[in-house]
Amino acid sequence: MAEKPSANYTKERPPKNIFPIEKQMLIFGQIKKFIYDHLPPNTKFYRKRLFGSLAKGTFGKYEGKWKGREFSDVDVLFVVDDDFIPPRKWKVHFTAEEKVWVVYDVDVVPVSTEDETVFVDVQYIILTKTFASQPETIARVEKWGIPLKRIFSHNKFIRL
Residue range 96-120, pLDDT digits in tens: 877 778 999 999 999 999 999 999 9
Strands 16-18 and 60-66 turn out to be antiparallel
62 within some domain: yes
135 within some domain: yes
Give the pLDDT of residue 94.
87
Has residue 12 got a pLDDT over 90? Answer: no
Give the pLDDT of residue 2.
38
∠ Cα 11 119 112 (to 5°): 130
Give the pLDDT of residue 79.
96
CB 74 within 8 A of CB 122: yes
91 within some domain: no
9 within some domain: no
Give the pLDDT of residue 15.
94
The total domain count for the chain is 1
Domain that holds residue 73: 28-86+99-159
pTM: 0.88
